[in-house]
Amino acid sequence: KDMSASASALVAPSAVRGLASDRAVRRAGARRRCVAVAAAADAVKFYKYQGLGNDFVLVDNRDSSEIKLSSERCAQLCDRNFGIGADGVIFAMPPGLVQKDEDYSMRMYNSDGTEPEMCGNGIRCLANFVAKMDGADPKAYKVGTLAGLIQPEVRADGQVSVDMGEPTLDPPKVPCTFEATQDGAAVRAKMEVDGETWLVTAVSMGNPHCVTFGKEGECDEEGIKVDSFALSHYGPMFEKHPAFPAKTNTEFTEVVNRNYVKMHVWERGAGATLACGTGACATVVAAVLEGRTERKCTVELPGGPLEIEWRESDNRVIMTGPAELVFDGVVTV
């Protein structure tokens, strides 16, 4: 007992404090390692892309059939003040969504957390993204989407050309409640918005579009003067109009000449954006049906031009435009 007491007395108080401090440091280090491991397990690598200013967060999800981020988390990441900032989050998924011989498939959440069928600018960004991830030479891909099979081609000049398929014009399949007015399509159909009658043409490019060149009695050959148009006023009313039970994207359009139009878009689930690929395609289809343009046409959007051709030979719509990497990073789930 005396010896134990004497031994304890020989240990200086500073040494005891040192031992305690060492144990605390080791515990803290262990905790940091645990946190780091957990963070790594919950971290998702992302790549920010843009196509004419229509911007997206892209995630390589081809190693799992389960989407790595929830719709709520995607909406948070799209916030331009508290997140990364984007019009949507796109996932490169394993093949097999539409058919077995796909190269990969596409799923997406809009900035409000809703899931659209597909996105024209988005699929150009996705094709460029996957090509860069895989180190592939310029080539065409088969991509399964909720709108069906889409075939983008990454070109040597950096542009991406996309076979968007055939437009759907049968009103119930758009879907919309209009009666067909021209060869089975709703062309220049009357729609009441904000106490005024607008003339609209309904087109689906795998997702619903309402294309308008203006109000009844005012939509002459030139259509809407888009640069002075009150997009934020009319856009939400068109998007949620009861004539479109699944809501709609809306294209407000001005004809410059028969091969060139200007268009401002209000996207379903995203609002005003700088560009919309499916919207540009729908605009040219509607313009041809209304006799305003040729089948090959440049569509100028706030973010820049897209080249659109609605081929008469096979009824398919071809869209060509850029897709560029902005930056990359890591987010938590």
Q: Which of 74, 78, 119, 297 is catalytic?
A: 119
Q: Which of 74, 125, 219, 276 is catalytic?
A: 276
Distance from C-alpha of 184 to C-alpha of 170, rounded to nearest angstrom? 6
Contacts of 39 (CB under 8 A, 6+ apart): 332
Sole residue written with tokens 């991830």: 133
Tell me the torsion sign for CA atoms 245, 247, 249, 251: positive
Is residue 265 within 8 Å of residue 274, measured between CB atoms? no
Residue 210 falls in the annotated catalytic set = no
CA angle 126, 113, 165 (to 5 degrees): 40
Is residue 142 within 8 Å of residue 149, measured between CB atoms? yes
Distance from C-alpha of 141 to C-alpha of 151, rounded to nearest angstrom? 5
Provide the annotated active-site residues.
119, 276
